[in-house]
Amino acid sequence: MAYEIPKDLRYEEKVIFNLSLMQAAWIGISALLAFVLFTKTAMPLEFKVASAMAIAAFGAGFAFFGLAAHMRTAAGYFSAQKESGFDSPQTARFLEVRHIDNDAIILDDGSLRACIEIRPINFHILSQSEQQAIISAYRDFLNSLDFPVQIVMRTCALSIEKYLMAAGKKAADANGMVLEYWNNLSAFIKKFVEEKDVKDRRFYLIIPADTSLKGTEGIAQLEVRSQLCIEKLRACRIRAKRLTSAGIVAFLSTFFQEPLHDGAQCGGMITTLFSENCKEGG
């Protein structure tokens, strides 16, 4: 049976004492420096021994532990830019996003991506028959995919302000005793969420268009694929909505310390009952 040889396979010929040429060079250089230190300097013996041991340690690090590569990595890290604004050219090069239009992400290479926001369900509280039905529907969803997808999971702070306001309006329509109970309950809920730092999880499904399709053809294919995924996920009792252009910008900004704000809608990683920057699929 034939096996494919990995393209990144590295081969180093052993030249002496089971050492590669590079390893032998590092060992030879460190040994030469230690020899010169002992024979050509007038330092006290203690300093000679300590210096020789340090040189030997560096030589072993370069020869056997990839110290040179680690030093290059560290130099690249310290010389690289650490901070950048969301709309700066450096950030644009890092994200590889050319622009966002028609509810799609256009990357630097011209390829297109759509983003679907998904609200998970509590699978464990369902009955066994419901769990089996959802598993079967999810299997059907996976089998229907003839294109690759990416699943992104974010852990974010939980905001229940809109939920409390909506419930508070209903309580206000009732008698005074109900409203009083509700005010006490809402105060307790808000305090609990803040003190316990309650988190929520957001899931996003990233859908690509074929690399051969650009412009309107790619946008049309994204619409079809997004609609297919949304319908299949709804069969799993999972709420899914496609992000609009504004929603995509807000989503990308959540990967930064100071996310964007669009009017009253915060683009930060703060969860509400469901994002407003979505459009219904269907």
Q: Are 258 and 224 spatial neighbours (Cβ–Cβ below 8 Å)?
A: no
Determine the pLDDT at residue 139: 94
Determine the pLDDT at residue 269: 41
Number of structural domains found in the chain: 2
Domain encompassing residue 261? 89-279
Q: How far apart are CA 205 and CA 240, in angstroms?
A: 9
Which residues have CB under 8 Å from 120's CB, separation 6+?
201, 203, 238
Is residue 234 in a domain?
yes
Determine the pLDDT at residue 254: 77
Q: Are 103 and 279 spatial neighbours (Cβ–Cβ below 8 Å)?
A: yes
Residues 207 and 244 in one domain: yes
**pTM (2 d.p.):** 0.59
Residues 114 and 50 in one domain: no
Residues 201 and 102 in one domain: yes
Determine the pLDDT at residue 275: 42
Is residue 4 in a domain?
no
Determine the pLDDT at residue 261: 42
Determine the pLDDT at residue 1: 47
Is residue 80 in a domain?
no
Determine the pLDDT at residue 3: 54
Is residue 78 in a domain?
no
Residues 234 and 263 in one domain: yes
Is residue 170 in a domain?
yes
Residues 189 and 225 in one domain: yes
Is residue 8 in a domain?
no
Residues 210 and 110 in one domain: yes
Is residue 21 in a domain?
yes
Query: What stretch of H or E contains 212?
Result: none
Determine the pLDDT at residue 10: 62
Q: How far apart are CA 198 and CA 183, in angstroms?
A: 20
Residues 59 and 115 in one domain: no
Parts of the chain with a pLDDT under 70:
1-12, 84-87, 257-282
Determine the pLDDT at residue 154: 84
Residues 51 and 107 in one domain: no
Residue in 180, 119, 127, 111 with CA at minimum distance from that of residue 154 = 119
Residues 102 and 240 in one domain: yes
Determine the pLDDT at residue 258: 52
Determine the pLDDT at residue 265: 37
Residues 118 and 209 in one domain: yes
Query: What stretch of H or E contains 144?
Result: helix 128-144
Residues 189 and 50 in one domain: no
Domain boundary among the residues 38, 71, 104 is at 71
Residues 231 and 268 in one domain: yes
Is residue 84 in a domain?
no
